[in-house]
Amino acid sequence: MRGMPAPISGSSLPRILSGMQPTSDSLHIGNYLGALVNWVKLQDEAFETFYFVANLHALTVPTDPQVLRHRTRVTAAQFIAGGVDPARSSLFLQSDVAEHPELAWVCNCLTSYGQANRMTQFKDKVAKGQDPNVGLFTYPMLMAADILLYDAAYVPVGEDQRQHLEITRDIAERFNSRFGEGGLVVPEPYILKGSAKIMDLTEPTGKMSGTTSPDKGLLLLSDEDSRLRKKIMAAVTDTETEIRYAPDDKPGVSNLLVIHSVLSGTGLEQLERSYAGHGYGDLKKDVVELVVGTVAPFRRRMAELLADPA
Ligand code: AMP
Ligand code: TRP
């Protein structure tokens, strides 16, 4: 569907908007537990929800067009498989709405070079060796346009996107003072604090990331059961034997406990008690059961969706 998505109803509820970039072949369990689960929950609350695939943002990383098209489609299918309901949320592709880059131009012209140059995500990506195109530099102004176009009141994102929301607020305020009050809604960040941060299985001091983690460090929502099992059983732990939540001293074991806790709904302290006297192998086996129990139905639903071109 091209063009601006129509609101679901004549709703006057505050609007929630968020997006994810289709930068890998599948979302991972960190995207699911850290973001998607919250998006789905928000559909049941008193908000009008807008979710989209940020495929224009993905152009900041040079990608083969066929691959990007495939990833865009998979990401949309994964949103739906994860519970985003197109009957209750407006679900769309960023590239289908020409007003995003149109408003982004106005946002560019309302942003000083100095402020754009202070964006830490840009600096981090360049420091990590990404050869930046100009799009990577102006990425926050496209993100501002994504948000301001829909009068979004709240934008649920992870902590890493906080600075991009601040620049969005600045741009909205500048727009309103230059072009007239009451123009754009100044959005509030809705930083998902309580939500789980899932770490890389091979390097549990860093977050699980579709763009920087090795395959063995990622639990992909497209992985077969046997792959999930292999990766979890090989997850890095430590040379002790005690199962205890201590993210600084025992990042690997703590990560497995967090994954268990979020999926089983059991508190961390209760898990520590129930694993007293057990080894890491027992914990890993249980985590395999829980992850497979979540991912397998997800994978089946995704396959059904992808098999249907409509
Ligand atoms: P990204 O893949 O970094 O573009 O992130 C897409 C969404 O998933 C954002 O809302 C992130 O905050 C969230 N996310 C990404 N990686 C993780 C992780 N390892 N744990 C929890 N949430 C994550
Ligand atoms: N930059 C966000 C990320 O990498 C994705 C994104 C693009 C986004 N536009 C947005 C998120 C607008 C929220 C609102 O995670």
pLDDT at 1 over 50: no
In 65-213, which residue ranges form alpha helices assigned H by DSSP?
65-81, 99-109, 113-116, 120-127, 134-148, 162-179
Spacing, Cα 160 to ligand 1 middle (Å): 9
Mutate to test the pocket of ligand 2, among 17, 20, 42, 185 (most ligand atoms within 8 A of CB): 20
pLDDT at 104: 98
pLDDT at 47: 95
pLDDT at 253: 98
Mutate to test the pocket of ligand 1, among 18, 31, 155 (most ligand atoms within 8 A of CB): 31
Q: Is the CB of 31 under 6 A from ligand 1?
A: yes
pLDDT at 180: 82
pLDDT at 109 over 50: yes
What pLDDT digit, counting tens, does each position of 211-263 carry?
889 999 999 999 999 999 999 999 999 999 999 999 999 999 999 999 999 99
Which has more confidence, 161 or 158?
161
Spacing, Cα 54 to ligand 2 middle (Å): 7
Query: How far apart, in Å, are the Cα atoms of 239 and each of 170, 230, 262, 279, 280?
Result: 49, 20, 25, 11, 10
- Over residues 106-116, the mean pLDDT reads 97
DSSP string, 39-103: HHHHHTSSSEEEEEE-TTGGGGS---HHHHHHHHHHHHHHHHHTT--TTTEEEEEGGG-THHHHH
Instruction: Work out the mean pLDDT of the chain and round it to a whole number.
Output: 93
- Over residues 34-63, the mean pLDDT reads 95
Q: Which residues contact 95 (CB under 8 A, 6 or more apart)?
A: 55, 56, 72
- Over residues 152-160, the mean pLDDT reads 90
Angle (CA) 208-194-15 rounded to 5° is: 100
Q: Is the CB of 141 under 6 A from ligand 2?
A: no
Polymer length of the chain: 310
Spacing, Cα 10 to ligand 2 middle (Å): 26
pLDDT at 118 over 70: yes
Percentage of the chain beyond pLDDT 70 is: 96
Angle (CA) 79-80-86 rounded to 5° is: 115
Which has more confidence, 191 or 84?
84
> Encoding tokens for residue 99?
């007003």
CA separation for the pair 20, 77 (Å, rounded): 13
pLDDT band at 74 (very low <50, low <70, confident <90, very high): very high
Beta strand 154-157 with 89-93 is unpaired
Distance of CA 63 to the CA centre of its chain: 19
- Ligand 2 atom with minimal separation from the 146 CA: 12
pLDDT band at 7 (very low <50, low <70, confident <90, very high): low
Residue 154: its H or E element: strand 154-157
Q: Is the CB of 21 under 6 A from ligand 1?
A: yes
- Over residues 48-76, the mean pLDDT reads 96
